[in-house]
Structure 1
Amino acid sequence: MAGRLQGEASAYLRQHAGNPVDWWPFGDEAFAEARRRNVPVFISVGYAACHWCHVMAHESFEDPATAAFLKENFVSIKVDREERPDVDAVYMAATQAMTGQGGWPMSVFTLPDGRTFYAGTYFPPRPVQGMPSFRDVLEAVASAWKDRPDEVRESAGQLAAHLASAQQGNRRLLGTVLDTGLESDTGDDAAAEAEASHRVLSGAVETLAGLEDRQFGGFGGAPKFPPSTVLRFLLAHAGTGASREASAGPATASEAAELADRTLGAMARSALYDQLEGGFARYTVDRRWAVPHFEKMLYDNVQLLSLYAQWARTAGDPGDRRLALRVTRETADWMIGRLRVEGGGFASSLDADTVIEGHRVEGGTYSWTPGQLREALDPGHAQAVLDLLDLESGNMAAHGGTPGPDGSIGSTLHFGRALSASEEELWLRHRPSLLAARNRRPQPERDDKVVAGWNGLAVGALASAAVVLADMGEGTAEKEEAARVLRAAEDAASYLLHVHRAGPTLRRVSHDGRAQGIEGLLEDYAAVAEGLFTLYAATGNEQWYTEAEALVHAAEQRFLVAGVLQDTAVRPNQLANAQGAQAAADPLDGPTPSGAALFAGVLLTYSAYSGSLRHRALAQALLRHVEVVGAQAPQAAGWAMSVLQFLLDGPRELAVAGTDAAAVADLLRAARDAGGPGLVIASRIAAPAAEAGTAFETRVPLMEGRDPGSAAALAYLCRGMVCRRPVSSAAELSALITGE
């Protein structure tokens, strides 16, 4: 019965444990039951924070008559797309192939061997605007299965063949990587290839400039999503190789900087960003960024936290830098306060809906009527505060908002413009009153499952935020805040290593401190390694480096099969049947960076630390698809383009060692201010030579031979492990980096 879902790690599955539908989790047992009964399989895919998933659940899955029909004619499987992106990807491809669109909830009908023969997304309880009811769909599918089985099987076979050809497309994009072919190009060939790559990346900037919404920021129209991986590339392109003021660098660097500035600024001043507490919603339904779909996803916020931390350091406008630093601080605080689970990991999401008096109200926690705002504010300043907000653009009634129990539909807290210094002071002074009033409302539910890959990115984002807060903070409180954020990064890293790791393997999800379900995917291994490398750069603690190194080697062994990169180490038979036996990693980004792009990035970082030319060449090989898609479809390759930009820049390697912690910190701060995002940093604080008693030891090849003796601090700037003479002052190091 649906009680099978009760012990699952996924909150989405547990939410359906009490349904009258006889749900099964995805697995061999469910498909074996379908074969035994000779019935088709119904697979329902969604996630805990999904508004329309809740709607369909209430309308159809809680209906006893619908549940009885499903039980009689199907084996029903419930899938959390966040827990099983491998399942979601296969059946989403099938849904898009059949209908031309996709989304969640996703409703898929398969043979007992896993091959799809019918698919759709949300189906209403009654026919509406040409859309059949869910019951109509069930009856039609059941009838086809009984009356036209040969047609059903033929359709499933044709679709599986089509999906198999798509897998071949992924294989062609990524190419085949064999050890015998992993030698770096040299001489004229290398120069020609680098020049071609520069042209592709500059072309990507120009394409993005043509897609920009110059009025409201971002790219394209409604619905509008935060373009996180693209922004990572734009900041890399703007800052790699030289400071913004220097004349070196690509001709499109300033254009990339302006694109990033406008989009990051627009999002931070909009209702996409929670103006009371921090953190970003999944997307907005309008182009103004004024009316969000209110779920807050960990994977969005960790990417955006990293971006705003970087923007705080590199933005050209002082007001932008101040805004970016505030967003960095608030978003880190929100993550720690709202998403952190016992043990130090981070939960997956907060729901889009709030249950108010027994009814699900989308955005019920976050929206305000003018009367509610006035009631929460000091009467003497209420109108002045309201005048800061664009309540008309944020009016949810114009976008089909859900009325609350009292029938009212509120507005979002949307500025839509840059505030002056005095306006910002007014808002920040009165914001606590609004937050206190909001905290007294019912709050959205939280999906407590911990996803390894997203937590790996959280480790890196928090470490980056902590470094920026420490470097740019001026008082004791700011330093203490930075230390608290860094401790959260270290706690999350420890949680992943103690809970999710089992020997050389990594589990994808955990709940209540216990790993459950499938082995991690390529994106999990790569994202955790990414986070650990970033944490090592922030702390100099070599434990994090060695753990990241182990994950890099494990990922090579698990996901490189006969020279082909794959997203999964172990693929269920049903998925192999559904999309062909030969699989390849999908190199294109979705809401999160692709596993292939993440892996290329950690391979490049590892090569910079270790000096391994083989790993550098492997990273370069995995980036070849950028030449195909970069300039034409940059929004699908943002993370890979940023990695390619770092590769073209060297990357540059910095080793800092010294006996004085403050002097080492000064050099590191100067390097981060001058070096841009392509700088790989290693550091070590050593005992003075007279006190050491033992030789200078390190597990990081970049640090080998960097014994500072009695020097307070020495910095070595290198390319390909070939280093300049050491320098000891921040000014010398800054000049060395920017003058390269």
Structure 2
Amino acid sequence: MAGRLRSEASAYLRQHAENPVDWWPFGDQAFEQARLRDVPVFVSVGYAACHWCHVMAHESFEDQETADYLNEHFVSIKVDREERPDVDAVYMAATQAMTGQGGWPMSVFTLPDGRAFYAGTYYPPRPAPGMPSFGQLLEAVNDAWHQRRSGVEASAAALVEVLEGAADNNRKLMGNLLPFDPDERPTALGLPRPMLDDAVLVLAGEEDPDYGGFGDVPKFPPSSIIQFLLRHAAARPRTEGPASGGDRADRESAAEPALGLAERTLDAMATSALYDQLEGGFARYAVDRQWSVPHFEKMLYDNVQLLRAYAQWAAQSGQAADRDFARAVAAGTADWMIGRLGLPGGGFASSLDADTVIEGRHQEGGTYLWSLDQLREAVGEDAEWVADIMGVGEAGTVTATGSPLHPGRRLDPEGQRRWARIRPALLAVRNRRPQPARDEKVVAGWNGLAIAALAETAGLLGRQDLLAAAAGAAEYVRRVHLDDDGTLLRVSHDGTAGAVQGLLEDYAGFAEGLFALYAATGEDRWYVLAERLVLEAERTFLNEGVLNDSAVKPSQLAAASGPANPADPFETATPSGTNLLAGVLLTYAGYSGSSRHRQLAEQLLQYLGRVAPKVPRVAGWGLAVAEALRAGPVELAVVGEPGPAEELVAAARATGSPGLVIAVRKSSRTPDAREPAQAQDIAQAREPAGAGPELPGYSAERVPLLMGKSAPESGALAYVCRGMVCRRPVATVDELLAELSSGR
């Protein structure tokens, strides 16, 4: 029976292992059972931290009568959308096509070959206005299956046409990624120059002017858009002179508000209930404009992106108060990640649950809510002050008396000192409460983003412990998720990887982290592994001019949405695989000098010209990568003694230069001089595995950007390069900053 789920990597699947529903994991065996029994398939999609998934599970999947009906008339499949985003994407598209909306839990009914014919989201145990009960729905689907089979088949066929059309639109949007002629030097394609400025102007029009963020409720952290805005601001000095011509002047003026857009949203989120004021870390989203009522699940993928953003704001801001505030939020988020999501042996868990089980019942946000009486019991005479500054009143905002802590503004210096004294007592009380469950599933791509965030933050905050955590996660993913043949597996649990092959976002996300870790440590083993992943991703996901999100499309998904498998470049909560790949290709080109990989990155971003000036929020990371492309990117090679080298690197990072590519050799060793142009040929000559023995004739140097870079007898030198063409080396921070600013 449902015991099939006990050994699954996904905590969400294991949560349902004891249900009376006879659950199957997604796979050929389940659909074959449906074919043999001639029954439809019920596909239930959710994730461990999802509040309404728990509600429907308790109301329906734990109910014996409901389970008996499902077991008799259906084959039931449970899917973790975080483990199988390919499955989720196809059936979410079907759900949205049929209902005009989507969400989780998602409830989809399919033919035994995988084609969907009916779909929805949450269904209650009893009828509600405009909504049947789940039991009524099951009876109606079963009746249609037996009495109106031709109508079911027709509905499934029509839905396939819709989904095939959507896939074809993605392919057309991306264009044909033509192979390169090895006998011809690729030429830069270029992106429309006004595109990035126009995107800022669109975002300015979508900003919530009162509470920060973009769009209406619910309000999600616009993480990748913030990265774009910070890079946009860093790439353009605020003192930029006036332009001639009205249109051009309007576009160039977009550089000025970009930082303000980012800062207002970062400020609003960190002073709200979205940010855990006691322990750090951000909740998934807020249901109101003020960010005062969060949905309480805490996701790794949100927090790693926001960590990166706050650390960059701390480095980039011209205001001391903003720098201190951003540093504190970054430090709090990093500490929360390591303390709450860090796993023994390295790696980071996926999430903390939205619900807390209290006296046998799931209570959303139960750990995090406070009443006035609870504050009084915890901190005595300070309770009234805490209630006043944190928005806790007689009436609760989530339950009748319970509210999360929501200051809604920064505290003044005296308030900060008082809060610092009181906070430990409140946290100690909260830590004695029941705690939300943790989904200990390790996702390769999300861990890659965590590695990147921690490695960059470590340098910006001077925190070696964060760098150690990043290295530990990288070693875990390398050891557990990466096969000898170069295949990256998507998920693991308790040190054992599952069978699901990594998606494009996993290869590119892990490579993103490894490049950042190399830049922070100078350990070329991380560069070599990143190179291997980039080349393997190119080989695996780029086929006949079409980029794919997954290496293989299961037959059931091919039946449901057509055999084509083009990548979807649009972003949701995380950067898309397309945009992540474009970023790591550009970084790799900066390190290796491979113009072929640079041009592929440009090709992947061509869709931005049609999307960014209209709906930039669906392409934030792509826009951030485009900023790096427009900036060069800037290649920085630093060689010499560890202390002076680290000082130069820290100064470069603090500029926020978009897409800064950093190669470091912390030693006084001087390699044999090589012509910089030779470095271009190295990456192109390597086999796809990319991590083989040392290249003949190039000593032990693994990173082409470092070749021929002589270190001084003492101190360190920094070489600022673009396209592997380097300016004269400099030895001081002031000289380096002048070199970096001269190319803007």
Query: Shared fold (TM-score greater than 0.5)?
Result: yes
1:48 corresponds to: 48
Any conservation in 2 of the 1:312–1:320 contact (CA below 8 Å)? yes
Deviations 1:295-332 (A, max 9, x none): 00001001101111101111232222111100111111
- Structure 1: unaligned runs, 5 residues or longer: 471-481
1:714 corresponds to: 717
Query: 1:32 is matched by which residue type in structure 2?
Result: E
Any conservation in 2 of the 1:243–1:676 contact (CA below 8 Å)? no
User: Which residue of the other structure, out of 406, 409, 414, is the alignment partner of 1:417?
Assistant: 409
Any conservation in 2 of the 1:463–1:485 contact (CA below 8 Å)? yes
2:479 corresponds to: 498
Aligned pair 1:62/2:62, yes or no?
A: yes
Q: How far apart, CA to CA, are the structure 2 residues paired with 1:456 and 1:395?
A: 42
What pairs with 1:153-172 in structure 2 (closer than 5 Å)?
153-172=153-172
Any conservation in 1 of the 2:631–2:658 contact (CA below 8 Å)? no
Task: Name the SS of the counterpart of 2:153 in structure 1.
Answer: helix
1:31 corresponds to: 31
Any conservation in 2 of the 1:3–1:18 contact (CA below 8 Å)? yes
RMSD over aligned Cα, in angstroms?
1.8
Any conservation in 2 of the 1:373–1:382 contact (CA below 8 Å)? yes
Q: How far apart, CA to CA, are the structure 2 residues paired with 1:247 and 1:501?
A: 51
1:79 corresponds to: 79
Offset of residue 678 of structure 1: 2.5
Q: How far apart, CA to CA, are the structure 1 residues paired with 2:89 and 2:181?
A: 30
Relative to structure 1, the CA distance from residue 30 to residue 430 in structure 2 (aligned partners, 3 Å threshold; closer, same or farther) is: same
Q: How far apart, CA to CA, are the structure 2 residues paired with 1:246 and 1:199?
A: 16
Any conservation in 2 of the 1:108–1:120 contact (CA below 8 Å)? yes
Offset of residue 247 of structure 1: 5.5
User: Which residue of the other structure, out of 272, 290, 293, is the alignment partner of 2:274?
Assistant: 272
Task: Name the SS of the counterpart of 1:180 in structure 2.
Answer: coil
1:585 corresponds to: 567
Q: How far apart, CA to CA, are the structure 1 residues paired with 2:87 and 2:634?
A: 39
Offset of residue 575 of structure 1: 0.3
Offset of residue 676 of structure 1: 2.0
Query: 1:223 is matched by which residue type in structure 2?
Result: P
Query: 2:548 is matched by which residue type in structure 1?
Result: Q
User: Which residue of the other structure, out of 283, 293, 296, is the alignment partner of 1:294?
Assistant: 296
Offset of residue 180 of structure 1: 3.1
Any conservation in 2 of the 1:342–1:513 contact (CA below 8 Å)? no
2:702 corresponds to: 699
What pairs with 1:320-359 in structure 2 (closer than 5 Å)?
320-359=322-361
Any conservation in 2 of the 1:607–1:613 contact (CA below 8 Å)? yes
Comparing 319-328 and 360-369, the one that deviates more = 319-328
Any conservation in 2 of the 1:688–1:710 contact (CA below 8 Å)? no
Query: 1:418 is matched by which residue type in structure 2?
Result: R
Offset of residue 378 of structure 1: 4.6
Aligned pair 1:542/2:544, yes or no?
A: no
Any conservation in 2 of the 1:355–1:442 contact (CA below 8 Å)? yes
Q: How far apart, CA to CA, are the structure 1 residues paired with 2:636 and 2:252?
A: 23
Deviations 1:260-310 (A, max 9, x none): 000000000000000000000000111100010000000100110111110
1:667 corresponds to: 648
Relative to structure 1, the CA distance from residue 263 to residue 6 in structure 2 (aligned partners, 3 Å threshold; closer, same or farther) is: same
User: Which residue of the other structure, out of 217, 234, 251, is the alignment partner of 1:239?
Assistant: 234
Any conservation in 1 of the 2:115–2:556 contact (CA below 8 Å)? yes
User: Which residue of the other structure, out of 172, 194, 201, is the alignment partner of 1:199?
Assistant: 194
Offset of residue 543 of structure 1: 0.6
Percent identity for Structure 1 against Structure 2: 59
Any conservation in 2 of the 1:508–1:521 contact (CA below 8 Å)? yes
Any conservation in 1 of the 2:230–2:258 contact (CA below 8 Å)? yes
What pairs with 1:319-468 in structure 2 (closer than 5 Å)?
319-379=321-381, 381-391=382-392, 396-397=396-397, 401=398, 403=399, 409-468=401-460
Deviations 1:100-123 (A, max 9, x none): 000000000000000000000000
Q: How far apart, CA to CA, are the structure 2 residues paired with 1:735 and 1:527?
A: 32
Task: Name the SS of the counterpart of 1:502 in structure 2.
Answer: coil
What pairs with 1:544-559 in structure 2 (closer than 5 Å)?
544-559=526-541
Offset of residue 246 of structure 1: 5.9
Any conservation in 2 of the 1:385–1:426 contact (CA below 8 Å)? no
Q: How far apart, CA to CA, are the structure 1 residues paired with 2:308 and 2:499?
A: 29
Any conservation in 1 of the 2:186–2:595 contact (CA below 8 Å)? no
Any conservation in 1 of the 2:316–2:656 contact (CA below 8 Å)? no
Relative to structure 1, the CA distance from residue 487 to residue 366 in structure 2 (aligned partners, 3 Å threshold; closer, same or farther) is: same
2:465 corresponds to: 484
1:476 corresponds to: none
Relative to structure 1, the CA distance from residue 257 to residue 26 in structure 2 (aligned partners, 3 Å threshold; closer, same or farther) is: same
- Structure 2: unaligned runs, 5 residues or longer: 243-250, 672-696
Offset of residue 738 of structure 1: 1.4
TM-score of the superposed pair, with normalisation by structure 1 = 0.93
Q: How far apart, CA to CA, are the structure 2 residues paired with 1:49 and 1:700?
A: 41
Any conservation in 2 of the 1:86–1:568 contact (CA below 8 Å)? yes
TM-score of the superposed pair, with normalisation by structure 2 = 0.93
1:133 corresponds to: 133
Any conservation in 2 of the 1:12–1:47 contact (CA below 8 Å)? yes
Q: How far apart, CA to CA, are the structure 2 residues paired with 1:72 and 1:319?
A: 64
User: Which residue of the other structure, out of 736, 739, 742, is the alignment partner of 1:739?
Assistant: 742
Offset of residue 672 of structure 1: 1.5
What pairs with 1:87-98 in structure 2 (closer than 5 Å)?
87-98=87-98
Q: How far apart, CA to CA, are the structure 1 residues paired with 2:573 and 2:450?
A: 15
1:475 corresponds to: none
Any conservation in 2 of the 1:686–1:696 contact (CA below 8 Å)? no
Task: Name the SS of the counterpart of 2:489 in structure 1.
Answer: strand
2:677 corresponds to: none
Q: How far apart, CA to CA, are the structure 1 residues paired with 2:97 and 2:306?
A: 31
2:625 corresponds to: 643
What pairs with 1:590-669 in structure 2 (closer than 5 Å)?
590-658=572-640, 660-669=641-650
Offset of residue 673 of structure 1: 2.0
Query: 2:639 is matched by which residue type in structure 1?
Result: A
Q: How far apart, CA to CA, are the structure 2 residues paired with 1:384 and 1:246?
A: 46
Relative to structure 1, the CA distance from residue 300 to residue 689 in structure 2 (aligned partners, 3 Å threshold; closer, same or farther) is: closer
Number of residue pairs matched by the alignment: 708
Task: Name the SS of the counterpart of 2:406 in structure 1.
Answer: coil
Any conservation in 1 of the 2:460–2:654 contact (CA below 8 Å)? no
Q: How far apart, CA to CA, are the structure 1 residues paired with 2:323 and 2:270?
A: 12
